[in-house]
Structure 1
Amino acid sequence: MRECGACHAEFDSLTHECRECGHSPQRIDGLIAFAPEMAASEEGYKAEFYDEYHGLERHHFWFTVRRDLIVFFIRLHRPDVSAYFEVGCGTGYVMEGVGQAFPEAHLSGSEMLTSGLTLARKSLPSAEFLQMDARNIPFKEHFDVVAAFDVIEHIKQDDLVLRQLYKAARPGGVLIVTVPQHQWLWSEVDVYSQHERRYSAPALHTAIEAAGFRVVDSTSFVTFLLPLMLVSRLLGRGRSADADPLSEFRIPGWLNGVLTWIMRLEAFFVRLGLRLPIGGSRLVVALKDQRPV
């Protein structure tokens, strides 16, 4: 079901034009815009990150292995996915992997800023891309899988985003999220990246279950590289808050290859069923239970 942004009526339609009041969302740069007043905002995220990430993520060890893990967990918990929705989809890199793994699934992605979506739709012309505020998602019980990858840590009202994702998921649907983990890893990188927080596993699980979901799987990742990550953050403390946080992503090719191998080894054990207690990031899968009969 879709939900009207003006009168909040629910309707089943292939378009976003409300059958009750006739409201139709605006378009910006050819994109359907549900929050046009925020399309150029940098609340929680810097627009220039999109161009940087678009070049980095397709080769960098963290982005590539994270995407593989996400696809693995979707396949593990919802192999029959037919409708996938990702808030904060960025340049669409994860969506590309989901589309390759589940070619029959209909893909939808959203961003508050239009600059990321412009890059995403070039790679995925058949997907639906929407400009919106994740705190106000215009869908109800519409998707088999709802997702947010390194998104909710940017938003003060993360509880509201999780409730909106719960609303958008079908009964029996799955939520999958990734977040940065461990407040003791906080550094100027988090400040520059406009993070509101880093999560602990209990805090994240509590927030997800408070939204209505039931946590069914959870693991850390970037575990084998945690000592290296900790040293990097300690050395960076005292660095100017406007220092370039992406410098740690721009690494020599040989080093990227070594770190990719280590991350893939870690992912191999996760696929075998090992769930890691600590790590730079955490991935959680949760279920929206079917309605009682």
Structure 2
Amino acid sequence: MDLKELKLAGDEPARHWYYRAKAEMMLSHVAELNVGSVMDVGSGSGFYSRYILEHGKAQQVTCVDNGYEADHDEMVDGRPLLFRRSVCTSDADLMLMMDVLEHIEDDHAFLADYVAIAPANSHLFITVPAFQFLWSGHDIFLEHYRRYNLSQLRGLVTQAGLEICRAHYFFGTALPIAAAMRLKDKFLPTGPPKSSMRSHGRLINSFAYNICSVEMALMRLNRLAGLSVVLLARKPGS
């Protein structure tokens, strides 16, 4: 996940409409799976890992990020949360890549490496930013290499040997406002590259979150547009 962006969301990202809605969207997909252990790749602060342990059924989560100074362990609601700089094996029932692939120059090789160590019949949940035409200083600031459309992410995942369970866009309701901001920043820049993420007060957070909650009811049918591409895949059994 984007640590730069997370810091801009305020002291309590779980209250920010964007992260709250994204975490609930993620959990709505993985809650129906038989998940005992999770590996959160490119996990940064471990926000989504903690959310799964606090609200989901997982008994252990391993956060993997080469930005950690050292390996260490924590407990969340009596369940292990492990932080590792790297791993060479995995027994996780589910891998998360929440806004990770856009930071990787060779996303094909990166994904293939993790698919190779994933157990047969395990699942992978991915989110990435949508639509290259939205490329702006926001992406430069966050050190992205690219944005994706639904077809591109499906192709990347299929080439890695995974079976797609479902794929769709999310944050479609936020797209018009975000697109206007990004395109203005792209064609009428007013300074150095910066993220469009902002902290908000209770009223705006509540309003925006409620809109996203309504969208969640129909999100799996959304093949048209949104700020994020969402995909759940499975590694076939041998």
With structure 2 as the length reference, what TM-score do the two structures score? 0.88
Task: Report how far residue 253 of structure 1 moved.
Answer: 3.1
Q: Trace 1:226-237 onto structure 2 (pairs within 5 A).
A: 226-237=175-186
The answer to whether 1:210 aligns with 2:156 is no
Q: For residues 197 and 48 of structure 1, what CA distance do their matches in structure 2 show?
A: 17
Q: Trace 1:131-142 onto structure 2 (pairs within 5 A).
A: 131-132=85-86, 137-140=87-90, 142=91
Is 2:121–2:236's contact at 8 Å kept on the other side of the alignment? yes
Of 12, 16, 33, which residue of structure 2 is paired with 1:60? 16
What SS does the corresponding residue of 1:64 show, helix, strand or coil? helix
What SS does the corresponding residue of 1:207 show, helix, strand or coil? helix
Of 163, 173, 184, which residue of structure 2 is paired with 1:224? 173
Q: Trace 1:1-293 onto structure 2 (pairs within 5 A).
A: 51-52=7-8, 55-76=11-32, 78=33, 80-114=34-68, 121=74, 126-132=80-86, 137-140=87-90, 142-237=91-186, 238-239=188-189, 242-245=192-195, 248-270=197-219, 273-291=220-238
Task: Report how far residue 256 of structure 1 moved.
Answer: 2.1
Task: Report how far residue 56 of structure 1 moved.
Answer: 4.8
Is 2:164–2:232's contact at 8 Å kept on the other side of the alignment? yes
C-alpha distance 193-97 of structure 1, shift in aligned 2 (>3 A): same
Q: Which runs of 5+ in 2 are unaligned?
A: none
Task: Report how far residue 122 of structure 1 moved.
Answer: 8.0
Give the counterpart letter for 1:63 in structure 2: Y
What SS does the corresponding residue of 1:58 show, helix, strand or coil? helix
Q: For residues 216 and 144 of structure 2, what CA distance do their matches in structure 1 show?
A: 26
With structure 1 as the length reference, what TM-score do the two structures score? 0.73
What SS does the corresponding residue of 2:221 show, helix, strand or coil? coil
Q: For residues 75 and 194 of structure 2, what CA distance do their matches in structure 1 show?
A: 27
Q: For residues 192 and 100 of structure 1, what CA distance do their matches in structure 2 show?
A: 31
C-alpha distance 53-229 of structure 1, shift in aligned 2 (>3 A): closer
User: Considering only CA atoms, is the larger Rg found in Structure 1 or Structure 2?
Assistant: 1
Give the counterpart letter for 1:105 in structure 2: Q
Task: Report how far residue 51 of structure 1 moved.
Answer: 4.5
Give the counterpart letter for 2:213 in structure 1: R
Match of 1:39 in 2: none
Task: Report how far residue 160 of structure 1 moved.
Answer: 1.5
C-alpha distance 256-186 of structure 1, shift in aligned 2 (>3 A): same
Q: For residues 184 and 266 of structure 1, what CA distance do their matches in structure 2 show?
A: 23
Task: Report how far residue 205 of structure 1 moved.
Answer: 0.8
Is 2:96–2:124's contact at 8 Å kept on the other side of the alignment? yes
Q: For residues 183 and 75 of structure 2, what CA distance do their matches in structure 1 show?
A: 39
Match of 1:33 in 2: none
Is 1:218–1:284's contact at 8 Å kept on the other side of the alignment? yes
Task: Report how far residue 274 of structure 1 moved.
Answer: 2.7
C-alpha distance 92-215 of structure 1, shift in aligned 2 (>3 A): same
Q: For residues 93 and 242 of structure 1, what CA distance do their matches in structure 2 show?
A: 28
Is 1:143–1:168's contact at 8 Å kept on the other side of the alignment? no
Give the counterpart letter for 2:61 in structure 1: L
Asked which structure has the greater RCO (Cα within 8 Å, sep 6+), the reply is: 2
Q: For residues 116 and 94 of structure 1, what CA distance do their matches in structure 2 show?
A: 20
What SS does the corresponding residue of 2:122 show, helix, strand or coil? strand
Is 1:146–1:168's contact at 8 Å kept on the other side of the alignment? no
Give the counterpart letter for 1:234 in structure 2: L
What SS does the corresponding residue of 1:143 show, helix, strand or coil? coil
